Amino acid sequence: MSALVEVDDLVVRYGPAVAVDGVSLTLGAGERVALIGANGAGKSSLLNAVCGVVRPAGGKVRIAGDDVTGKTPNHVVRRGLTQVPEGRQVFPSLPVEANLLLGAFGRSFRTEIATSTLRYLRRRADARERLERVYTLLPKLHELRDRPAGRTSGGEQQMVAIGRALMAEPRALAIDELSLGLAPMVVEQLVEFLHRLNDEEHVAILLVEQNALLAFDLCERAYVLETGRVVLQGESADIRDRPEVHSAYLGDGPG
């Protein structure tokens, strides 16, 4: 049985610099997997290549068996993987509810706007239903639905970004730096939510995180990246105390 998301020997370059140097990983349906490593290890580049934002220089990406290597983000969204980007990247001028609905609209998009809009309007009832479901999962969003997304706090924006990603009915959610710039208590609530999401909706989670311990707490499996390569992988419980994790961030040496 093939995994939901399969990455084979992926290479990502920015000009002459190699950001990702032959990384392979898998994400099974309903699994929670983490990608950890220091800044500059290549985690975000990897995620961006998987989600179609940048074109990889080599390797393959498959989602639910379909080859999406080098295709646009729209393809990746339609195959069932949506991203919660680093820094949230909500649409600040638009109210929260509009942000969420655009998540569904993006899913309806093909190449040409007229038919995409018609498709979306025909499925409006479904989108509304989905919206209600997201509000049930994240009640705070219902409270904030008319507020411009730019005038919400960091943690609230993270919820908006997650909700927006969920509106596309994904099979897997890729989250880039969940905890960046957020207070610990807020992060705690988000982690709890993600646990529930995974249990109840069976949405697989691919978490890219700098905060290694947080990642280990949420995810069953983890890959440790260092300068573009996987240096360690396995069950979180097994690897979390390994010295390689410590040195991936802080180098080798005494202590």
Partner 1 sequence: MTEFLQLVVVGLSTGSAFALVGMSLVLVFRTTGIVNFAQGVFVVIGGLFTFQLSDDMPLAVASLVSVLLAAFLSSLVALVAVGFRDRTTSLASTIITLGVAFLAQALLLLEFGDIPRSYPGISDRAWDIGGVLVQPQYVLIAGVAILCAVALTLFLRRTIVGQALVACSDSRRAAELVGLNIRSLAIVAFAGAGALSALGGALLAPSSPMTYSSDVAITVNGFAAAVFGGLGSIRLALLGGYALGILEQLVVGYIDPQYSLIIALIVMLVLIGWRSRAEIASASHEAHAAIRRARVPWPAPIRIGLIVAGAVFACWLPYQLSTFDVALYDRMGLYALVTIGLTLLMGYAGQISLGQGAFFLIGAYTSAILTVGIDPGTRLVDPAAGISPLLAVLAAPVVAAVVAAAIGVPLLRLHGHYLAFATLALHLIAFSVLSAWDRFTGGQYGISVTKPLTVFGHDLRGPLHAAVVWGVVAVALLLATNLVHSRVGRALQAIASDEASAAASGIPVASYKLRLFIVAAALAGLGGGMFTFSFLIVSPDAFPIVLSIEFVVMVAVGGLGNMYGAVAGAVAILYLEQKLRDLGAKPALFGWDLPDAAPTVFSFGVFGLILIAIMLFFPGGLLPALGDATAGVWARIRSVRRPVTTS
Partner 2 sequence: MAAASSSLPAETTRQPACELSGVTKAFGAVKAVDDVSLDVAASSLTCLIGPNGAGKSTLLGCISGLHLLDSGVVRIEGRDVTRWPPHRRARHGLATVFQTTRPLAELDVLDNAAVGAHVRSRTGFVESMLRPPWQWREQQRVREEAREALAVIGLEDRAAHPAAVLPLGQLRLLAIARALAQRPSVLLLDEPAAGLRAGEKAHLVEALRTLSRRGLTMVLVEHDMQFVGALAERVVVLDRGRVIADGTPAEVRNDPQVVTAYLGSTTL
Segment contacting partner 1 by CB under 8 A, of 68-76, 130-138, 139-147, 184-192 = 68-76
Segment contacting partner 2 by CB under 8 A, of 32-40, 65-73, 74-82, 111-119 = 32-40
Q: Which two tokens stand for residue 105?
A: 């609209």
Q: Check: CB of residue 176 under 8 Å from CB of residue 85.
A: yes
Does residue 51 touch partner 1 according to CB under 8 A?
A: yes
Does residue 189 touch partner 1 according to CB under 8 A?
A: no
Q: Which of residues 23-42 bind partner 1 (CB under 8 A)?
A: none
Between the alpha carbon of residue 236 and those of residues 190, 219, 220, 224, 232, the distances in Å are 19, 7, 5, 10, 11
Q: CA-CA distance, 91 to 94, in Å (whole number)?
A: 6
Taken as a whole, the chain contains a residue count of 255
Closer of 92 and 139 to partner 1 (Cβ): 92
Q: Which of residues 172-231 bind partner 2 (CB under 8 A)?
A: 177, 179-181, 184-185, 187-188, 191-192, 209-214, 217, 227
Q: How, if at all, do strands 221-226 and 32-36 pair?
A: parallel
Does residue 69 touch partner 1 according to CB under 8 A?
A: no
Q: CA-CA distance, 50 to 63, in Å (whole number)?
A: 9
Size of the site for partner 2 (CB under 8 A): 37
Q: Check: CB of residue 204 under 8 Å from CB of residue 32.
A: yes
Q: Check: CB of residue 249 under 8 Å from CB of residue 225.
A: no
Instruction: Kindly list the residues in this chain that would bind partner 1 in the complex (CB under 8 A).
Output: 51, 53, 72-74, 77-78, 82-83, 85, 89-94, 98, 101-103, 105-107, 109-113, 116-117, 120-121, 164, 168
Instruction: Kindly list the residues in this chain that would bind partner 2 in the complex (CB under 8 A).
Output: 14-19, 38-40, 177, 179-181, 184-185, 187-188, 191-192, 209-214, 217, 227, 245-247, 249-255
